[in-house]
Amino acid sequence: SRDSAIAPFALNNIALIRRSRGDLPGAQMALEEALRRYPDYDRGHYNLGLVLRDQHDDATALSAFLKAVALRPTHARSWAALGELYFDRRDFPAAVEHFGRAVHYRPDSRSYRLKLGLAHRLLGDYGAAVGRFAEVLALDANNEPAVYWWARSVLDAGESIAVTTDSIVTRLLPYTT
């Protein structure tokens, strides 16, 4: 019936409104009801993960995000949410993997690329970090965090990376005056 097709969206929207008002238990309750009725509702799992993360229940949030990507593997925001959880846990190899998948499905996202670069940097892989920050700069040459972290990573990488950065420096010079 038409009502049953609309129901998960309605419950999801109720949850989003409650979350925006700071009613996290109410948001969680609406999403759990949506998922009880519609267990394969990927957006519900994603939003439940956000609500659980907001409540600092990272272990359960992780399960919700994993279920969301299992149901909809192309959902970049779910991959990025997993990347954020792993980044916060300082599990940088997992953060790189999950932000990498987010970038794969949303190649125009500067924020996913920036976090991917930071995770590479925290692993000590300055060459990969420089590459990720350069990708952000190719999308937005005025992205100040990317300029900062790109420059820091170039310096930390040393001479080995300098040759590959000449064209980026040339592109950035007009924006630094």
Q: Of the given ranges (12-26, 56-70, 127-141, 156-170), which has the lowest mean pLDDT?
A: 156-170
| pLDDT for res 5 | 55
Band of pLDDT at residue 15, cut at 50, 70 and 90? very high
pLDDT score for 157: 87
CA distances in angstroms from 26 to 4, 17, 50, listed in the order given: 21, 10, 13
What whole-number distance in Å separates Cα of residue 120 and Cα of residue 114?
10
Half-sphere exposure of 75 (CA within 13 A, CB side): 20
Query: Which tens digits make up the pLDDT trace of 118-175?
Result: 999 999 999 999 999 999 999 999 999 999 999 999 999 885 555 455 555 555 544 4
Counting every residue, how long is the chain? 177
Rounded to an integer, what distance in angstroms lies between the CA atom of residue 34 and that of residue 6? 11
- Rounded to two decimals, what is the model's pTM? 0.85
Instruction: Give the span between the Cα atoms of 64 and 104, in whole angstroms.
Output: 21
CB-CB neighbours of 163 under 10 Å = 7
